[in-house]
Amino acid sequence: MAATASAPAKRKARKAAGAVGRSRTARAAARAGIVARAGFYLLLAGLVLDVAISGGSRGKQTNANGALTTIAQDPVGMAAIAAAALGFLSYGLVRIAGAVRDREADTQARVLTLVQGAFYLALTWVPLSFLFGSRQTGSEQAQHTETAVVLSWPGGRVLVVVAGLVVIGVCAYQIRTALTQDFTDGLELGSAPAWVCRLVEAAGTVGIVARAGVFVPVGAVRVVSAGQADPQHAKGLDAELALVARQSWWGAALLAVVALGLVVFALYSLLEARYRRVGRSS
């Protein structure tokens, strides 16, 4: 009885997912979400470069909060944040729809696409919460507070360790994907000029490795903070880069390399927005 009753519901869910995945408007909004990601990493690269030049003395955080605060200076900036939220939401929904309806893809590809879609749905809350007045969203202080809350839960230290290991694992997977250039599997490059294909491969390889390399230490410090049961050790990207900036000449040089890597990833994101099969598992 239960199986019979659930069959129409499953068909209805697949039909809804297919409608989302086939909608030109939804696909266009999803591509806008990738463009918004490119804009975020360009802003982040600028903030990293600012830290390299000033040594972090200007007080701007090199994280999501710093990027959002930089944009939200006028109504146009707030509208851009709202557009980014819509883009992330659309991209998440279209990717989930692609995972549900793409019968030609293997199970691993569909699961990875589903996870990616769920991640972007969750990511939508970052710009939305900032728009709703939570000006600490994505800040270093917010990360300390959130980690302290989780550490106070029963089994909280295990959860923080798992979260840190997940970050490290995802970064390692992304680096592997970049080095093997598997990221091109979901791109429609068949009709693209040869120089565009080479640019996509180069930008994707360098950019994805650079982006992942920046966030590996963030996962590592989560594990350390759980081991010491101290949320102050749960440093985010801002504290990590500020520490590098305080080093001798090589600190500024390394941050300049990081900024360049993030710019390359932003370039890859713009190319991905053009060529990604957003409505298919890949």
User: Tokens 């050790």 appear where?
Assistant: 233
Question: What is the value of pTM for the model shown?
Answer: 0.86
Domain boundary assignment for the chain: 13-275
* Residues in the chain, total: 282
Q: How confident is the model at residue 273 (pLDDT cuts 50, 70, 90)?
A: very high
Q: How confident is the model at residue 1 (pLDDT cuts 50, 70, 90)?
A: very low
pLDDT at residue number 3: 44
Q: For residue 44, which of 266, 281, 198, 243 has the smallest C-alpha distance?
A: 266
pLDDT at residue number 7: 55
Chain segment 19-68, per-residue pLDDT in tens: 455 678 888 989 999 999 999 999 999 999 988 887 766 667 888 999 99
Q: Is the pLDDT of residue 282 over 90?
A: no
Question: Rounded mean pLDDT of the chain?
Answer: 86
Q: Stretch 150-176: mean pLDDT, rounded?
A: 92
Residue 230, SS3?
Answer: coil
From the number of C-beta atoms within 10 Å of its C-beta (0-12, 13-18, 19+), residue 104 rates as exposed
Chain segment 103-127, per-residue pLDDT in tens: 888 898 899 999 999 999 999 999 9
Q: Stretch 154-170: mean pLDDT, rounded?
A: 92
Chain segment 71-100, per-residue pLDDT in tens: 998 999 999 999 999 999 999 999 999 888
Query: CA–CA separation, 110 vs 80, rounded Å?
Result: 31
Where b means 16+ CB within 10 Å and e means fewer, 189-217 reads eeebeeeeeeebbebbbbbbbbbbebbbb
Selected residue with higher pLDDT from 264 and 4: 264
Q: Stretch 182-211: mean pLDDT, rounded?
A: 96
- Cβ contacts of 121 within 8 Å, gap of 6 or more: 88, 89, 92, 93, 96
